[in-house]
Chain A
Amino acid sequence: MPLEQDVFWYKRAIIYQAHVRTFHDSNGDGVGDFPGLDQKLDYLQELGIDTIWLMPFFPSPLRDDGYDIADYYSVHSSYGTLEDFKRFLDSAHKREIRVIIEMVLNHTSDQHPWFQQSRSSQENPLRDWYVWSNTDTRYPEAGINFLDTELSNWAWDPVSKSYYWHRFFSHQPDLNYDNPAVREEMWTVMKFWLEMGVDGFRLDAVPFLVERDGTNCENLPETHAILKEFRRKLDEQFPGKMLLAEANQWPADLRPYFADGNEFHMAFHFPLMPRMFMGVKLEDRKPITEILQQTPEIPPSCQWCVFLRNHDELTLEMVTDVERDYMNDSYAQDKTMRLNRGIRRRLAPLLDNDRRRIELMNGMLMSLPGTPIIYYGDEIGMGDNINLGDRNGVRTPMQWSGGWNGGFSAAEPEKLYAPLIQDPVYGYAAVNVFSHKKTQHSLLNWMGRLIAVRKTTRAFGSGTIEFLYPANHRILAYVRQLGDEKILVVNNLSNAAQAVELDLRRYKGNILIEMFGKNIFPRVGEAPYLLTLGPYNFWWFRLRRV
């Protein structure tokens, strides 16, 4: 189906999250760029992904890795030019790969000309584009997001001698969405990129757009009204384009962001991710089934985004205190691995580089409800560098080969924006795309097969889910169904082999066809269906009547 005709593409997509800076450097300056990313599109196409989500690439002082935007209408000079971006976009579309870009609505950099003007005088026309106050005591109910670095959501501006509001770093002043001019300008920004051809936006930090006294300034009705207005304009002017919400909230609080299918198309399911890690560590399905039971129904046109890791810390905000302690003790015994309320580590090190657990986690990612996102490098099991500050340890250069700078850049190693991973286990000499491609059973090739098998059915992207609750609680089993198509998924969360009896009587008469090897398993009858699974093993079966 041509890209422009498939309006529900995001429900079936497999998203690859990449950062231009980290992916490939084409000009040898030590920083990844759009021509470099363009050169690697064949790799991504071969992997089987069909959507790229790019982290911010706009001009920025880069004090928050680009989430501090200083110009919404251009490309950071380190990454290339607007023309380079357009060429990359066209190349991606030619390969039927869509591109989602980041749109940081809530705040700008303090270096943005809008803020510079706003702070310059009380009378400046842009003064009201940001949230100013004579005191730092307003909105006391609002929490601080970056607990490790910020003491308050207010920062004193010595230039205009007043306080400005910031929900994130103090160098990221919040825009004032009560000002219609701000709303209009941000739509103009979005329109600029949509007209160029981008396929959607990941809208950053959306719960925080509006502030009101007596509230925690999150998820306010006024914020939803603004987002709905953006959506209305998007549907009218750019049908088939998509909005993805970044709102780190409990599922019930996230539900309003889908509204009646007229606000966001997609939203991240933040609470699921830590519970997948928890389930595997505890060898118990409870955390996973519990959170999915609490997940409300969403409109048919909407979709969850699910992920294992991303560019941020493994966030533990949406867990209980007991769960957070358990996660920290289990996955971040070294306290330097902890940041804010999370764990700043990549997938492979989190799972002790255990191939079986990495496969199981990816298997669940690809089979649970939602559109899966693969974080760059996790497809080859890249490691992290916790000695780099903030979240930079999980944003190191992509490891393409065992050669010079891991094939990332021709620059002198000292010029790289960040050092490559070099340790004996995860270093680029051991873990790289080139060597994975040469090995038939490498993680990269296995990921490619996993994606290919997922794509053989639409049930994973759009189907319903029905959990089977076998007595063996180490087994997470569910049936995904779309129309007549039924997929049985059975995951062994345990480190030991397990036997499980599944009640499949409602599927009596079906045979099971294992989806990877296509082997036939016995027909389902009245008796409990006995399966055995090796440690961290999982099965995907197509149920078929013959």
Chain B
Amino acid sequence: MAEESFLTDDFLGQLISVGEVDILVGVPTHNNAKTIRSIVETIQAGIVAFFPRERAAIINADGGSRDGTPELVVRAVIGDARPGSKLYALRTLPSISTQYASSPANGTALRTILAAAELLRTKACAVISPESTHLTADWLAALLRPVYTETFDLVLPTYRRHRFDGILLTNLIYPMTRALYGLKIREPYALQFAFSGRLGNQFLAQNPWHEETARAGSEIQFTLAAIAGEHRISQSFLGTKDRVERHSADLVPAMRQTVGALFSSMEPNFSLWHTKTSSQPIPTTGTEAEFTLEPLRINRKRLREMFSTGVAELEPVFQSILSPSTLAELQRIARLEEVRFHYPADLWAKTVYEFATAYHKAVISRDHIIQALAPLFRGRALTFLMENRNGSADDVENNIEGLCLEFERMKPYLIEIWNGRE
């Protein structure tokens, strides 16, 4: 039986026309007509400014846009990008587009970009989010140069964020990844990153690309694959991160994409992470992270209610996931008045580790495990907000660092329950 074709004939034809490239920039899209033109023009400007002599191309992997996004990508011409600009392109800079499916799936988009990068024998590839309204041409250089000229295999971003932006990242993904794999990677789940052809090809070949990863979590899996493969990783400070308004209903899907992928990675990589006892910094261009402090209105009452309700309603589920002492402690703090509410770092780390172990042992449906973590995360988020509501940027950083150290301190407990308790 013939092997299944992943790329369409039309897209293959476009790739044949593009030919071998040094630099590839992939843009996964889905109904991004409002922003895509300026995104592509900024990418073009970045390539022309910082890689004027390199063979480069832009590839759009579209998940079924109905607003003409792919057409806008293909039509964005370098000459239109900067009227009166002194930038001059020596080469043709092709922009091509393919629709990989009729509905968006981050993993399939990444797979499409990786497959294109492999076919074009790309030396350095960047993935840029179509929603990056703060994107500048400098970002391209910051992401791609370490790969193209300094032999790094993966370049992840660091950003200037609002102190309360990305709490899932600062309170779970970052501390846990750091504790597990011993590397201080600030944004393991990045929507903007760059990688070498070597890493891209390896990930493309090794990843099973089953339906689950096709939908979600491929970005963090990519980072984890780089860690597991002991590839050279660096970070580049890009500037201000776009703040995306999230609804409470977005939390569980976001946790599936990130926490689910992180938990999934632990089983195959056990031999790698169980020996790490501390964390090391990784080469970073610019600052590791910056925080802005504008006041933000937060509905603390609602967060606490969601936590308390979750603890009460999900008790039967928690009984199969958490240790009795952890559950008892959670039930205790669920009863605290709002002003005295506090979900301490050590308890949070212990909670997460017990969830990870439950996920590993599949004590119940793994998706239910991730869903059950959501109300507890809201409780931890509330504590983080309270602890840092009057803090300076340094205070916020110290708070996160403290949490990370707690995750590292508690790691022997993770190893113990991972291997031991049924």
Q: Is B413 located at the chain interface by the 8 A CB criterion? A: no
How many residues does chain A have at the interface if contact means C-beta atoms less than 8 Å apart? 22
Of all chain B residues, the one with the shortest Cβ separation from A278 is: B90
- Which residue of A322, A326, A473 is within 8 Å of B92 (Cβ)? A473
| B17 engages A472 (CB within 8 Å) | yes
Closest 6 CB pairs of A and B: A471-B17, A473-B92, A472-B17, A284-B91, A286-B92, A322-B88
Q: List 8 A-B contacts (CB under 8 A).
A: A284-B90, A286-B91, A286-B92, A322-B52, A322-B90, A326-B52, A473-B94, A494-B19
* Complex: A326 Cα to B55 Cα, angstroms: 14
Q: Is B16 located at the chain interface by the 8 A CB criterion? A: yes
Contacts of B94 in A (CB 8 A): 471, 473
| A286 engages B89 (CB within 8 Å) | yes
Of all chain B residues, the one with the shortest Cβ separation from A494 is: B19
Q: Is A84 located at the chain interface by the 8 A CB criterion? A: no
Q: Is A320 located at the chain interface by the 8 A CB criterion? A: yes
Cβ < 8 Å to A, chain B residues 7-26: 13-14, 16-20
Contacts of A283 in B (CB 8 A): 19, 55
Q: Is A285 located at the chain interface by the 8 A CB criterion? A: yes
Of all chain A residues, the one with the shortest Cβ separation from B20 is: A496
| A286 engages B90 (CB within 8 Å) | yes
| A320 engages B88 (CB within 8 Å) | yes
Q: Is A499 located at the chain interface by the 8 A CB criterion? A: yes
* Nearest Cβ on chain B to A327's Cβ, whole angstroms: 10
Cβ < 8 Å to B, chain A residues 263-307: 278, 282-287
Cβ < 8 Å to B, chain A residues 104-141: none
* Complex: A501 Cα to B89 Cα, angstroms: 25
Q: Is A498 located at the chain interface by the 8 A CB criterion? A: yes
Contacts of A287 in B (CB 8 A): 90
Among A287, A473, A474: residue with most chain B CB under 10 A: A473
| B90 engages A472 (CB within 8 Å) | no
How many residues does chain B have at the interface if contact means C-beta atoms less than 8 Å apart? 16
Q: Is A323 located at the chain interface by the 8 A CB criterion? A: yes
* Complex: A326 Cα to B89 Cα, angstroms: 12
Cβ < 8 Å to A, chain B residues 51-72: 52-53, 55
Q: Is A522 located at the chain interface by the 8 A CB criterion? A: no
Cβ < 8 Å to A, chain B residues 25-70: 52-53, 55
Of all chain A residues, the one with the shortest Cβ separation from B14 is: A471
* Complex: A286 Cα to B79 Cα, angstroms: 13
Further 17 A-B residue pairs, CB within 8 A, beyond A282-B53, A498-B19: A282-B90, A284-B92, A285-B92, A286-B89, A286-B91, A322-B52, A326-B53, A470-B17, A471-B14, A472-B16, A472-B19, A473-B19, A473-B91, A473-B92, A473-B94, A496-B19, A496-B20
Of all chain B residues, the one with the shortest Cβ separation from A329 is: B53
* Nearest Cβ on chain B to A279's Cβ, whole angstroms: 10
Cβ < 8 Å to B, chain A residues 305-344: 320, 322-323, 326
Per-residue contact bits, chain A 45-75, to B (CB 8 Å; 1 contact, 0 not): 0000000000000000000000000000000
Contacts of A284 in B (CB 8 A): 55, 90-92
* Complex: A473 Cα to B16 Cα, angstroms: 10
Of all chain A residues, the one with the shortest Cβ separation from B89 is: A286
| A323 engages B14 (CB within 8 Å) | no
